[in-house]
Structure 1
Amino acid sequence: MNSLKDLKFSDIIDINTLKDIQDKLAKIVIFSAVTTDIHGVPVCNENNFTPFCKLIRSSPKGCKNCISCDSQAGFMAMKDKKPRVYKCHTGLIDCAAPIIVNDIYVGAVLGGQVLLKGQQTRDSIDLNWISKNYELPLEKLKEAAERIEIVESDYLQNCVSFYTFLANYIAEMGLHTLTQEKLLKESEEKIKLEQYAKKMQLKTIQAQINPHFLFNTLNTIASMALIENAPTTEELIYNLSDLLRYSLRNLEEFPKLKDEITNIKRYLFIQALRYSDRISYEINIDESLNEYRIPTMILQPLVENSLVHGLETKKEGGKITINSTSNSKKI
């Protein structure tokens, strides 16, 4: 179901269930009844229809007009948001109760098929016109018309009450169905979120395992360098290990200046070994500034750019100097 505006009867109630309900009620009451969609098309078999109306619907043109009439009556009842009594295209008195679910009109319950005492008689029906227009035998129409009930207005009120009850019952079932579907959808989304969270948690664990493996490996190499009497190699590996650990684990937005400088020293130590005597560095930071906090990794790109764009391309190399003054509190 894409949206509430696309609601169909099959979305809000099982058609077989509706048919069973309507059939059972038809055995209790004598009112004719048909449940239609917004286009006036019956969604299940009609109940207690008069022989006259069955005959009219046996004609293709008559059936088409009945559907159109039911559609218009249901729509008008929906606009009024209450049941309405009306005269059908053959002149009979019918009733319509709208089925509204979450303010969306999905159909109507209709019926009646009677004449109103004191206002109509069977002679009120133009059987000749109906016979000619719908191509139905006049004698059959006369025979069926004799069986049309002429009722008091109280009968119509009872009809309206019954159709309203059935329409509201269908609407409540529809609302229950939509609520269940919403809860099911929310439950499915919750499960997906939980699965995603577990997946991300697993990735986080994996991300933690990989650095551990890397650091352990670097430490092992450093230990081997020590055993093989290669102190410079040992120091290089430890600096690289600490540099990586700081980059991966430093989650503070504003670490202390001294921690950032320590990390810069590791970086420059590695680069100085890489470029041998072409690159040197000097760091002079006033100790009174050590506890000041700065944005994380703000110095690293500056030093790296100085190296890559300033000194790397020069044959004679150069020197990187980082100074600070305690007065201005700047580096």
Structure 2
Amino acid sequence: MIALVLRRFLGLLFTLLIVSLLIFAVMDLLPGDPASIMLGTSTSLETLSALRHELGLDQPLILRYGRWLAGVMSGNLGQSYTYGVPVAGLIAERLSVTLPLALMAIMLSVAIALPLGVLAASRRGSIFAVIATLFSQISIALPAFWVALLLIILFSTMLGLMPAGGFPGWNEGFLPALQALVMPAVALAMPQAGVLTRVARSAVLETMHEDFARTAMAKGLSSSAVLWRHIVPNALIPILTMIGLQFTFLVAGAVLVENVFNLPGLGRLALQALSQRDIIVMQDVVLFFAALVIVMNFIVDLSYLAIDPRMRKAV
């Protein structure tokens, strides 16, 4: 099993290397010149050439890529063209908003979807199955940003219970910062919970027809014992896969909800860097998103070995 984990880890590093090369090459093909954007259109050619030389933009692509990759590996992500501060600090600052938001949303999604999906599968034709079907269809059909607007109208404008937007910062207190993330987390969690409910229901239904489930019932175990001790653990693989995908989506794809609630998250940073042609910030943020997806897939693969003894025996 150690050899398998090592091979997967080496594959992860190789994939990250290829992805970083693709990201750098694509960013280099984007139209526009960062030096021109920084100095403006009225600057002289001599000043523009001097800034391009200072930023290393006049060097060959492979040399610029090697310098950027060496900086990433050492933790030096470069200096933002627009903000004039280290990119690592920018990402860490924005991640302190996006990461707790994504964690809250995925925990809420799992807390809703897993019990609802399991009960809908184990009690087909019951009220739980009807509720699960309706909830799944409605939550998937409603965009997260629209849910966000409804939450603002109801809990902020009409009831005055929650802040309508903004983020006070964690240094202003844990509870005010957490309160600012509650409604965005709910808005992000609802569509994901609908998808996860369907996945959980299908996985449990499929596992219920396996031979080991019928054998456990034949031994005289209660229905609830068979469900929670045998069926649900063996149905976790597709559920964990979906949770991993949803978490990476919530980190990388929360930009619309962050804009609705005016949250200074990582998605807004990427959008601002794109509009300002801040290539170094764009490269580092996109690489972070790609690395998150790759690492999350690696963690999910390892979790398969932990929850499924059949896979451990296979390796």
TM-score bin (small chain): under 0.3
Higher-Rg member (1/2): 1
Q: Which has the higher strand share?
A: 1
TM-score (norm 2): 0.22
TM-score (norm 1): 0.22
